[in-house]
Amino acid sequence: MRSDRQAQGALATGLQAAPADLESGGALRRRQSETSGSVWETVRLAVLQIFMTVLVITFLVPTFWMISSSLKVSTEVFAHPIVWLPQDPHWNNYVKAFQLLPLTRFIYNTMIIVVFAVLGTVISSALVAYSFARISWPGRNFWFGLLLATMMLPDVVTLVPRFLIFKNLKWIDTWLPLIIPYWGGIGAIYVFLMRQFFRGIPMELEDAAEIDGASRIRVLIQILLPLSKPVIATVAVFALLQHYNDFMNPLIYINSMDKWPLALGIRAYNDSYTRNWEVVFAASTVMLTPMVAIFIVAQRYFVQGIAMTGFGGR
Amino acid sequence: MAATTAPGGKRHISKRQLRDWIAGYVFASPFIIGFSVFIAFPMFYSVYLIFVEWDLLTPATFVGFANLAKMFRDPKVNLSLYNSAFYTIFAVPIQLTISFSLALALTQRIRFRDFYRAGFYMPIIVPLVASAVVWQRVLHPEFGILNEALGWFGIAPRMWLFEPSLTKPAFIFMSFWMIGRQMVIFIAGLGNIPDSLKEAASLDGAGALGQLRYVILPLMTPLIFYNMVIAIINSFQTFVPAMIMTEGGPQDATLFVVLNIYRNAFQYFNMGYASALAWELFVIVVGFTLVQFYLSNRWVYYEEGS
């Protein structure tokens, strides 16, 4: 057994060594141009490494502090010098958070709002993007231009009139204002993203399909969308972030506490339990946790989407 | 496909083309309807609202230019504009400097780059409300971690959110925490700079600084410009931290434009006046953006042909 592994190891190093030998000419030249300050370079990178480590810890401290404080007893929260880790984790703060305000209800409400808003965003953006990317019709450029122009439009401009419209529709204190508009494909950035992606898919696929008499909606669903999973994921992740985060719209439209999403709930903890930091932190941690989970699972789509668009869902 | 859209096809509409037209409108109809109902109509509606006084209880009354006249003389409005401008002018350039420096550092040959990237990006995924709640306490004069950390360096504790002259700086400082998005964009851009250009520069005798000055920075100007435009638009619309952490205080030091609009609309129920303020913000933001696009010709490098 052991000799086997040794042999494998030797083979592996051998395999690595061979191309290195072949390339040594180029590598040597490259190394020479760098050796001019090789010690200097090592020192520079080491300093940079240390500096980045300190900085990234600094960036992580507020979040870490929030989570660790959510497990402290209040004497540890209000202690000098700061207690970084609770002596033993006080999970009861979470129990309290769920008892003081209807946190379960807030989570449920958020889920419903976010699911339907994201669903609307994805479906409507796909339909609209398909039209802009694949069908030629008069007025297409005009409408696409309008779509792009809305990116520059601050939401605040339509805040008051939108409120009045929803008030007339008797939608105040319902979730409809937080969901219905997003079925209208007005998230310009999402439509734009999908359109760009659709345009990158070769036309031949659907031309062939059309000869078969497949209708356009079937082309979209059966051919384009299965090929567009990355962009759908990106749009879904950003839309999710946007609606999960949304504070101003719920603030304006939702009055009754039993319809509040988490964003309003956290504010209520903050206002009502100002002296119980640990409970406020526990509730905030509850709100953060799904985002962390999604970030870990879908990190690639965050980065992809930001690199493509520069937006991060807020 | 090519045959139906060939020149001359405009005059004679084939059955196929007609089907395309209909399909095009049908598929785009969510946006056409959504835009008309939730964007275009509200915008026209709010133009009308500028000229009325309406508290939602009594019928709207036409007041002509009274709202606009009041707006220009209203000290709160001017203060809110000053606050937002102050915040934007100081926050945005420093944000860009930090995020660009981080991106440069994280494209060097150091270890754990992925970990650093995720770490610097992490604050973005903290829900805005939660981060406001946390920062309100980070900045707490007695038990906050900022004063504690400053204490290690012998700096006396400050009343960050309680002293008018310190609140905006504290908000600006907090905004540096959320530069992950800008950083990721810069990293993506830096990755697209061909090594051959940097090598050519170093063969010409350019050191690291020379490469930065003559190769990297010029090629990155489109992204710097892009990040700047977005950051300015966002900074002008800051709302959540002011609403949660300070409620516009102390002494209106964090009464930002959007908070002022929100209050006029939904706390004082001056729908007309709030619309006037919203349009003022709109004109400022669009004006700012257009000026930036105009000035961009002078400093933003666009590759030929694009």
pLDDT in tens, A110-144: 999 999 999 999 999 999 999 999 888 899 999 99
Residue A76 located in a structural domain: no
B159-197 pLDDT, tens digit per residue, is 999 999 999 999 999 999 999 889 988 998 888 888 888
Copy the structure tokens of residue B36.
């008309």
Same domain, A108 and A247: yes
State whether residue B153 sits within 8 Å of chain A by CB: no
CA-based torsion, B42, A164, B256, A261: positive or negative: negative
- The answer to whether residues B162 and B242 belong to one domain is yes
The pLDDT score that the predictor gives to residue A10 is: 35
Q: What is the ipTM of this complex?
A: 0.87
Are residues B119 and B232 both part of a single domain?
yes
Residues B247 and B216 in one domain: yes
Q: Does the beta carbon of B134 lie under 8 angstroms from any beta carbon of chain A? A: yes
Tell me how far CA of residue B210 lies from CA of A269, B200, B222, in angstroms. Answer: 53, 12, 20
User: What are the distances in angstroms from CA A100 to CA A72, A95, A272, A283?
Assistant: 17, 9, 10, 10
- Chain A hits for B42, CB-CB cut-off 8 Å, are 157-158, 161-162, 165
For residue B170, the distance in angstroms to the closest alpha carbon of chain A comes to: 14
In a domain, A73, yes or no: no
Q: Is residue B8 part of a domain?
A: no
Chain-wide mean pLDDT for chain B?
89
Q: Residue A103: enclosing H or E segment and its boundaries?
A: helix A103-134
In a domain? residue A127: yes
- Residue B210's pLDDT is 82
pTM, 2 dp: 0.86
Residue A117 forms part of a structural domain:
yes
pLDDT at B225 over 80: yes
| B41: chain A residues, CB-CB within 8 Å | 161, 165
SS3 of chain A: helix, strand, coil, percent, to 5: 80, 0, 20
Residue with tokens 């004063």: B147
Domain that holds residue A223: 96-309
Averaged pLDDT for residues B18-42: 91
User: Percentage of chain B with pLDDT > 70?
Assistant: 95
Mean of per-residue pLDDT scores for chain A: 83
Q: Are residues A119 and A5 in the same domain?
A: no
Instruction: Clarify whether residues B214 and B269 are in a common domain.
Output: yes
Do the beta carbons of residue A122 and residue A301 sit within 8 Å? no
In chain A, what is the straight-line distance between the N-terminal and C-terminal CA atoms, in Å? 57
Query: Given this model, what pLDDT does residue B2 score?
Result: 41
Quote the DSSP letter at residue A153: S
Across the interface, whether the CB atoms of B285 and A154 are under 8 A apart is answered: yes
Decide if B134 and A161 are in contact by the 8 Å CB cutoff: no
pLDDT band at A209 (very low <50, low <70, confident <90, very high): low
Per-residue pLDDT tens over the stretch A215-261: 788 888 888 899 888 889 989 998 999 999 999 999 999 999 999 99
Quick check: B145 and A162 CB within 8 A? no
Whether residues B56 and B188 share a domain: the answer is no
Question: Is the domain of B50 the same as that of B84?
Answer: no
The answer to whether residue B111 scores a pLDDT higher than 50 is yes
Q: Residue window 73-132, chain B: list those with CB within 8 Å of chain A.
A: 102, 105-106, 108-112, 115-116, 118-131
Of chain A residues 230-259, which have a CB less than 8 A from chain B? Answer: 241, 244-245, 247-248, 251-252
Co-location of A266 and A179 in the same domain: yes
Q: Tell me: cis bond preceding A230? Omega within 30 of 0 counts.
A: no
**Is B9 contained in some domain?**
no
**Model pLDDT for residues B196-216, shown as the tens digit of each residue:** 887 888 788 777 788 888 888
pLDDT at B88: 96
CB-based contacts of B107, cutoff 8 Å, min separation 6: B187, B190, B191
Chain length of chain A: 314
Residue B21 pLDDT greater than 60, yes or no: yes
- What is the pLDDT, as a whole number, of residue A309? 58
Contact between chains at B110 and A310 (C-beta distance less than 8 A): no
**Residue A157 shares a structural domain with residue A258:** yes
Q: Which residue in chain B is spatially nearest to A187 when comparing CA positions?
A: B31
CA distance A203 to A192: 18
Per-residue pLDDT, averaged over A21-25, amounts to: 38
List pLDDT tens digits, range B245-295: 999 989 999 999 999 999 999 999 999 999 999 999 999 998 988 999 899
Could you say which of A49, A127, A245 has the minimum Cβ distance to residue B111? A49
Residue B118 falls inside a structural domain:
yes
Task: Decide if A156 and B134 are in contact by the 8 Å CB cutoff.
Answer: no
Number of domains in chain B: 2
Mutate to test the interface with B, among A57, A157, A244 (most CBs of B within 10 A): A157
CA distance A222 to A218: 6
Residues B173 and B130 in one domain: yes
Looking at the partner chain, which of B116, B145, B285 has a beta carbon nearest the beta carbon of A56? B116
Where residue B4 falls among pLDDT bands split at 50, 70, 90?
Answer: very low
Q: What DSSP string describes A192-215?
A: HHHHHHHHTS-THHHHHHHHTT--
How many separate domains does chain A show? 2
HSE-up of residue A269 (Cα within 13 Å, Cβ side): 34
Q: What is the pLDDT of residue A307?
A: 63
Q: Can you tell me the mean pLDDT for A193-198?
A: 89
A65 touches chain B (CB under 8 A): yes
Chain A hits for B185, Cβ within 8 Å:
306-307, 310
Question: Structural domain of residue B57, as residue ranges?
Answer: 15-66
C-alpha–C-alpha distance, residues B97 and B92, integer Å: 9
Q: Are residues A198 and A299 in the same domain?
A: yes
Give me B261's structure tokens.
């609009």
Instruction: Tell me, yes or no, whether B277 and B154 share the same domain.
Output: yes
* pLDDT at site B199: 81
For A126, which residue in chain B has the nearest alpha carbon?
B27
Structure-token pair, residue B116: 């650093």
Q: What pLDDT is attached to residue A211? A: 54
| Pick from A18-22, A121-125, A217-221, B38-42: least confident | A18-22
In the block, residue with structure tokens 């709010």: B46
Same domain, B86 and B221: yes
A9 and A120 housed in the same domain: no
**Does B180 sit within 8 Å of A154, measured CB to CB?**
no
Confidence of residue B94 (pLDDT cuts 50, 70, 90): very high
Q: What is the pLDDT of residue A236?
A: 92
| Partner B contacted by A40 (CB < 8 A) | no
pLDDT value at position A26? Answer: 42
SS (H, E, C) chain B: CCCCCCCCCCCCCCHHHHHHHHHHHHHHHHHHHHHHHHHHHHHHHHHHHHCEECCCCCCCEECCCHHHHHHHHCHHHHHHHHHHHHHHHHHHHHHHHHHHHHHHHCCCCCCCHHHHHHHHHHHHHCCHHHHHHHHHHHCCCCCCHHHHHHHHCCCCCCCCCCCHHHHHHHHHHHHHHHCHHHHHHHHHHHHCCCHHHHHHHHHCCCCHHHHHHHHHHHHHHHHHHHHHHHHHHHHHCCCHHHHHHHCCCCCCCCCCHHHHHHHHHHCCCCHHHHHHHHHHHHHHHHHHHHHHHHHHHHHCCCCCCC
Tell whether A4 and A126 lie within a shared domain: no
Amino acid, single-letter form, for residue A151: M
A292 in B contact zone (CB under 8 Å): yes
CA distance B94 to B176: 8
- Residue of B18, B25, B31, B53 best to disrupt the A interface, most CBs of A under 10 A: B31
Q: Are A284 and B237 in contact (CB < 8 Å)?
A: no
d(CA A287, CA A247): 13
Which residues of chain B are within 8 Å of residue A51 when distances are taken between CB atoms? 105
A65 contacts on B by Cβ (under 8 Å): 134, 138, 145
Residue of A nearest to B119 (CA): A56
Asked if B205 is an interface residue toward chain A (Cβ–Cβ < 8 A), one would say: no
Residues B140 and B271 in one domain: yes
